[in-house]
Amino acid sequence: MNPLKIKDNFLFLAMLAFVFVSSTALALSRSFDTTLLYSNVVKREEKKFPSNPVPLLNSPFPILSAQGVMAVDLISGVPLYEKNADQRFLPASTTKIITALVALDSYPLDQVLTVGVGVKVIGQKMGLFKGEQIKVEDLLYGLLVYSANDAALVLAQNYDGGYDNFIVAMNTKAKKLSLTNSHFDNPVGLDTNDQYATARDLVRASEVAMRDPVFARMVGTKQITFKDVSGKFSYNLRNINELLGNVPGVMGVKTGWTENARENLVTYIERDNHKVMIAVLGSQDRFGETKELIDWIFTNYEWQEVNPYSP
C-alpha cells in the first residue's frame, strides 16, 4: 500500500479520536453544578466504572416560546436543555417553593396559626378570613396545591419576628441554596423590581425541595379536602398543575403566572429510572411546552454508561 495513503489514514483516524475526546470533555465540563445538588449520586472510587448512565443527545433542540428554560438530568447532573438559564425573570408563584421551604423549616405541621389582618389579597386564594385558625399543614396544601396567596401571607405574618423577618429568611434560604441570581421581597410571587429568579436557580431549589417527603407529597397531590380548626369551614382544593396525573412520571412541582411574568412552570419527572427537573419561565404555553420538552427528552436522549477514568 502507498505509504502516503497509510499516513493520511492514520492522521484521519487520529483527528476523529481527538474530536470525540474533545466533544466528550466539553459536554462533561458543561454539566450542571453538582456541588450542592444530587446527593443521591453515589460516590465512586477512582477507576471504577460509574453505575449511573449519562444522557447523550441524538436530535436537534426544540424551539420554545419560553424566555428562560433549564432541564437537568438529576442523577448525572448533565443539562439536557438550556435557554437563558441564568437570566433573571419574574418568578410569579414559583416563589412559593421558597415560601414553603422556609415554612417547613420554621413550623411543626400541626401548629395552629391565626389568620390576621391584611390577608385579603388579589389573585388565587383559599378565602381565609381574619381570626380563622388553621393548621400549618393545611396552609401548605393551600400554598402548593392551590397556589393560594392568602395562605402564603398567613405563613409569613405568623413567622417569628413577623412578615419582614420571613422575607429575610426567604433570601437567607436562597443564599444557602446558592441561588445566586434570585431575590424575593414577598412570599406570594407578586411582581416587583426586587422579585426575580432564574430557571437554573428554580431547578436547584426544586431539587432540594423534592428531597423533603412532605413537600414532595403536597406538590404531588391532585385534590384534597380539609377543615379549619373549628370544623365549621371546609376547603376543597384541586391542583392547578395540568400535567400532574396526565403526563406519565410527572410528580409536581409548581406553577406560576402574572400578566408580566407570563406563564411559569417547574416540573419534576421520574420515568424509566431517570429523574429530570425542568423550569420554564415566560412561556406562552407552560403546560404544552413542558410536555413537548419532556417528550423530546425521553425520545431523543440515550442514557449510556460512560467511563470518565478511561485513558
- What confidence score (pLDDT) does residue 64 get? 87
Write down the residue that cell numbers 466504572 correspond to: 49
**106 assigned to some structural domain:** yes
Number of domains in the chain: 1
Write down the residue that cell numbers 406562552 correspond to: 284
Residue 59 annotated to the active site: no
**112 assigned to some structural domain:** yes
Residue 96 annotated to the active site: yes
Please pick, among 83, 125, 135, 147, the residue that the annotation labels catalytic: 147
Amino acid at 308: P
**47 assigned to some structural domain:** no
Query: Packing angle between helix 163-176 and helix 96-106, nearest 10 degrees?
Result: 100
- What confidence score (pLDDT) does residue 60 get? 67
What is the Cα–Cα distance from 120 to 114, expressed in whole angstroms?
Answer: 14
- What confidence score (pLDDT) does residue 62 get? 78
What is the Cα–Cα distance from 293 to 275, expressed in whole angstroms?
Answer: 14
Please pick, among 76, 83, 93, 173, the residue that the annotation labels catalytic: 93
CATH of the domain at 100: 3.40.710.10
pTM greater than 0.85: no
| pLDDT tens for each residue of the chain, 311 residues long | 444 444 444 444 444 444 343 444 334 334 444 444 444 433 433 334 445 676 555 566 778 899 999 999 999 999 999 999 999 999 999 999 999 999 999 999 999 999 997 777 888 999 999 999 999 999 999 999 999 999 999 999 999 999 999 999 999 999 999 999 999 999 999 999 999 999 999 999 999 999 999 999 999 999 999 999 999 999 999 999 999 999 999 999 999 999 999 999 999 999 989 999 999 999 999 999 999 999 999 988 887 766 555 44
What is the Cα–Cα distance from 180 to 184, expressed in whole angstroms?
Answer: 12
User: Residue 97's Cα: distance from chain center in Å?
Assistant: 8
**26 assigned to some structural domain:** no
Considering only the C-alpha atoms of the chain, give the largest distance between any 2 of them, rounded to a whole number of Å: 94
Residue positions in the annotated binding site for substrate? 254
Please pick, among 76, 83, 96, 275, the residue that the annotation labels catalytic: 96
**87 assigned to some structural domain:** yes
Provide the grid cell at 107: 413550623
Instruction: List the one residue out of 59, 50, 61, 57 whose CA is nearest residue 78.
Output: 57
Q: Identify the domain containing residue 90 by its residue range.
A: 68-73+82-303
3-state percent breakdown (helix, strand, coil) of the chain, nearest 5 = 35, 20, 45
**1 assigned to some structural domain:** no
* Pairing relationship of beta strands 223-227 and 133-135 according to DSSP bridges: unpaired
Alpha helix (H) ranges present in the chain?
Answer: 3-29, 96-106, 136-144, 149-157, 163-176, 199-209, 213-219, 286-300
**54 assigned to some structural domain:** no
- What confidence score (pLDDT) does residue 121 get? 80
**99 assigned to some structural domain:** yes
